[in-house]
Amino acid sequence: MNNRHETGQRKNINNDNLVRHTHLKSSSMKSKLLFLVMVSMICVFTSHSYAQEKQDSSVIYLYYRSYAGTLDETILFNEMNVTTLKLGSRLQVTLYSQGDLQIRSTNMYGGISEINLIIKHGEKYYVEMKAKGFSNSWTGILSQVDEATGQKMFGNQKWPLMKIEEDLDQPFIQPAQK
């Protein structure tokens, strides 16, 4: 009789352990499920944010055609210094502001070229710069080109690529004053 009582107690102890183990498994499953739901929500918000970012931005693809020489050109957007480009290089600028944009190139010889674009969200702009001149009168001449030409020339993988993203705290295009 004593053995039965001990066996009965063991069964109760085992049942208690089983209940605790099931509770722990259930709690663990709830944590995993909560984690998956949170990751899913982050993915949805991130993809929405990325889609919104693509819609609320535009891209300028500028390339400096290389023939010969080592002329560096300083690139300015609405009088703000963006970078310096060497012959045979590419610049990709993502803009979040929109409106009138003057792109200017200058060099150490005093050469200046500029073009004006009206930037709109969701658009792509291709700008070519060609070196013109002799000796110390070189100038990088800017011109907007069609998308097919721009894609072909900008796609030259031999040319170094620099990517710049507009700083939202210091946009290249200032909002119009009301």
What is the C-alpha separation between 56 and 68, in angstroms, rounded?
Answer: 38
**Structural element, H or E, at residue 80:** strand 80-86
Pairing type for strands 80-86 and 72-77 reads: antiparallel
What's the pTM value of the predicted model, to 2 decimals? Answer: 0.67
- Cα separation of 141 and 113, whole Å? 5
State residue 137's pLDDT score: 66
pLDDT tens digits in sequence order for the chain, 178 residues long = 454 444 445 455 555 555 555 555 566 666 666 666 665 556 444 433 433 445 699 999 999 986 666 678 999 999 999 999 988 899 999 999 999 999 999 988 888 999 999 999 999 999 999 887 766 667 788 999 999 999 999 988 888 999 999 999 999 998 766 5
Residue 42: the pLDDT is: 60
Percent of the chain with pLDDT over 90: 46
